[in-house]
Amino acid sequence: MSTPLSDFKKTLFLSEADKQQGFWMLDDTHFSRPLTPLFASFMLPAVTKGTQRAFETMKMPLIQFTVKTDHGYYYQSMPPHPEPFEERMSKHKNKMEELYPQIKPYLERIVDEFYMPFYNKLSERSAGSLSLQEALLDVEELQQFYTKAWQYHFEITIPRTSLAIALEETYGQLTGSANTKEVYDLLQGVMNMSLETDRGLWLMANQVKSSPLLRAVLTATGNPAEALNQTAEGRDFWRDLQSFLNIYGHRTAITHSFTEEIWVENPSYALSIIASYLQQDYDFDAEFKQVVAERRAKAEELFERLPAGEMTNRFRKIYEWALTCWGVDEDHHFYIDAMIAAKSRCFLKNVGRSLVQHQVISGQEDIFFLYLDDLLEVLRDPKPLHTVVEQNKHHYQEYQSIQPKPYFGVPPKLLPDPVVERIFGLPRDVTEAQLNTMTGYAASAGTYTGKVKVINGQEDFAKLQKGDILVCKTMTPPWTVLFPIAGALITDAGGILSHASIVAREYKLPAVVGTKVATSILKDGDYVTVDGTNGVVSIGTV
C-alpha cells in the first residue's frame, strides 16, 4: 500500500487530472535527466513562483511557467494571460523596449548585490559543523532565495531573448533576407564567462606545453594531482589550477542537479580538458581576434549598404543594444544556473553530514534523495529515514531508463511565445528518423563529415578526440570547453537561441540541435555529415 502524498509533494507531481486538463511540455533542453527529490523540491516551486512574479513585471502573454515532474522529468505548462492577446502583447513589447538597454547593467547589479553575498554565506555554511536548528534556518532561507533567484533569472533572460528576436525581425524587414538567422553573425566575438573559462584552460594548457615536467605528468596514467605535488613546479601549477577553479570551477556538465560533482571539488575534470588541449595546435586569442574582426567587417559592410531612414536607425539601435548584452546569455548561466546549484550542493552536503551524525541518513549525499518537506521535518525532529532514502534512490534509478513523453495533453492551436520556441524548440513526437537522415534546427552554419562520439556527461569528456562530432542530449555552458576539440555538434534538445547554438556559432562549429533522436540512433564510431546550414544530419556518409 503506497503512502499518501503530502500536500507539498502534490505540488511537485503531475497528476492524471493535470495531464488531462492542460498541455505540459517536456523541457529536455535544460533537464535531460530525471531530477532528484531535493533538487525538484527547490527548483520546481521556485520556477513556478518566480516566473509568475517575473512575467507580471514584464507583461508577458503567459501567466507563468507552471512546473511539475513526471517520473522525475521536468514538464512545464504555459497558461495564457487572461487579457486579450493583442492588448497584452502590446504592453509586453513596450515593457521590453524599456528593458533592452538595461539588460547587462541589471545582471551586473543583482549579481553584486543579491547573488554573490548569498553565495558567500553558503560557502561559509558549507564548512564547519551545523546544529540541526542552524541547518533548519539555513535550508529555509535557501528555499526563499531560490524563488527570488529564479525570478531574477527570467527578468534577465526573457528581455535578452526578446531582443534577439526583435533584431532578427528588423533585419528581415530591412534587408528582405529569408535567412534572418544570419544576423547572429553580427554578434559573434563578444567575450563572456564561458569563453573566459575556455581561455583560462587554454592558457594553462600552454603553460603545460612549455614544461616537459608538467606535460609528462598530465599525459601519464595515474593520479596527476598526486604527481604534481611531488615537485615545486608541479605545486605551483596546482596552486594556479586551484585559483582558477575558485573562480571558474563552480560548474558541472549536468548543471541543474545537486548530485553531480563540481570541478572545484574534483580538479580532475579540468585537468582532463587541459590534457586534451595538449593534442592540438589551437590559439584561442588569435581565433577570437579573427572572429571579432570578421564581425566588425560584416557589420560595417551591412551598414554601408543599408538605406538611410527610420528603419535603419531602429535596426542600428537594436543592434547596439544586442551587441552590448550578448554575453549575458552565458554570463547569467555562470552566475545563476550553474553557481546556485554548485553552491547549494556544497552547503547541503554539510547539512547531510549533520544528519549522518544524528543517524537520520547513512551518507551525506543521501540528503539529495529526500524531499524538502521530509528534510525540514527531520531537522525539527530527527528520526531515521534510511528506508525513505533507499526507496527514492530506487525510483530515481528506474526513471533513468524511461523514455519520457515529449508532452502530455493536447498542444494548443496557437504556437507558444516565440521566446519559448527559440530556446526550447517546439515539442515533437519522437518518431523513427528516416533510414539515413535526421533533422533539427539549423543552429550554426557549415558542413562537416566525421566520426561520432556520444558524450553523456563530464565523465565522458576525455574520450572526445580532435575532429570528433560531439553528440549529446543537451548541453550547458560547461560543455563549451569541448568546442575547440569537436568538429561539429548534434543535440537531442534545444532551439536556435539555446546555449549550444549560441556558442557553436562563436566557435564556427557546424551544429544541428533539437533532433530529439540523435543519442538514441547514433553510437560511437558512426560516420555522419552535419549540415548546420540546413539543419540536416546525414548518417553513414564518409
Q: Which helix (H) or strand (E) holds 469?
A: strand 469-472
Report the DSSP pairing between strands 24-26 and 407-408: antiparallel
Tens-place pLDDT, residues 407-438: 999 877 654 555 555 555 555 543 334 458 88
- What was the pLDDT predicted at 433? 41
Chosen domain end from 284, 307, 326: 284
Position 353 in a domain = no
Chosen domain end from 233, 254, 284: 284
Please name which of 429, 407, 37 lies closest in space to residue 258, comparing C-alpha atoms.
Answer: 37
Hey, how many other C-beta atoms are within 10 angstroms of the C-beta on 519? 21
Position 521 in a domain = yes
30 noted as active-site residue: no
Tens-place pLDDT, residues 119-157: 999 999 999 999 999 999 999 999 999 999 999 999 999
Tens-place pLDDT, residues 252-301: 888 899 999 999 999 999 999 999 899 888 899 999 999 999 999 999 99
- What was the pLDDT predicted at 7? 95
- In the three-class reduction of DSSP (H, G, I as helix; E, B as strand; rest coil), residue 522 is classed as coil
Position 277 in a domain = yes
Name the CA dihedral angle for 331, 333, 337, 339, rounded to a multiple of 10 degrees: -50
Q: What is the mean pLDDT of residues 370-393?
A: 98
Query: What would the DSSP string read from start to end of 145-213?
Result: HHHHHHHHHHHHHHHHHHHHHHHHHHHHHHH--S-GGGGGGGG-S---HHHHHHHHHHHHHHHHHT-HH
pTM of the model: 0.88
Taking a C-beta distance cutoff of 8 angstroms, is the pair 59, 97 a contact?
no
**1 pLDDT above the threshold of 50:** no
- What was the pLDDT predicted at 56? 98
- In the three-class reduction of DSSP (H, G, I as helix; E, B as strand; rest coil), residue 264 is classed as coil
**% residues pLDDT > 90 (the chain):** 73
Give every CB contact of residue 283 below 8 A, 6+ residues apart in sequence.
none
Name the CA dihedral angle for 196, 330, 170, 82, rounded to a multiple of 10 degrees: -170
Q: What is the mean pLDDT of residues 326-348?
A: 96
Residue reference for cell 530525471: 34
Chosen domain end from 253, 284, 315: 284
- Please give the tally of structural domains in the chain: 2
**448 pLDDT above the threshold of 80:** yes
Position 303 in a domain = no
CA pair distance 197, 273, nearest whole angstrom:
12
Instruction: Give the cell for residue 51.
Output: 516566473
CA pair distance 435, 429, nearest whole angstrom:
17
Report the DSSP pairing between strands 488-491 and 469-472: parallel
Query: What would the DSSP string read from start to end of 410-429?
Result: PPPSSPPPHHHHHHH-----
**% residues pLDDT > 70 (the chain):** 95
**Residue 269 belongs to domain spanning:** 193-284
Q: What is the DSSP letter of 351?
A: H
Position 245 in a domain = yes
Please name which of 15, 6, 143, 21 lies closest in space to residue 68, comparing C-alpha atoms.
Answer: 15
Please name which of 524, 421, 430, 521 lies closest in space to residue 470, comparing C-alpha atoms.
Answer: 524
Position 434 in a domain = yes
CATH number at residue 470: 3.50.30.10
CA pair distance 464, 477, nearest whole angstrom:
17
Position 102 in a domain = no
Position 450 in a domain = yes
Tens-place pLDDT, residues 500-517: 888 888 888 999 998 888
Identify which of 180-184, 309-313, 428-432, 460-464 has the greatest average pLDDT: 309-313
Of the listed ranges 168-182, 196-210, 413-427, 477-491, the least confidently predicted one is 413-427
Of the listed ranges 206-210, 350-354, 439-443, the least confidently predicted one is 439-443
Instruction: Give the cell for residue 263.
Output: 570541478
Taking a C-beta distance cutoff of 8 angstroms, is the pair 484, 503 a contact?
no
Three-state SS sequence of 64-130: CCEEEEECCEEEEECCECCCCHHHHHHHHHHHHHHHHHHHHHHHHHHHHHHHHHHHHHHHHHCCCCC
- What was the pLDDT predicted at 517? 80
Q: What is the mean pLDDT of residues 53-68?
A: 97
Higher pLDDT, 92 or 225: 92
Taking a C-beta distance cutoff of 8 angstroms, is the pair 116, 15 a contact?
no
Instruction: Give the cell for residue 473.
Output: 542530449
Angle between helices 116-125 and 339-357 (to 10 degrees): 20
Annotated catalytic residue within 81, 332, 333, 499: 499
Computed over every residue of the chain, the mean pLDDT equals: 91
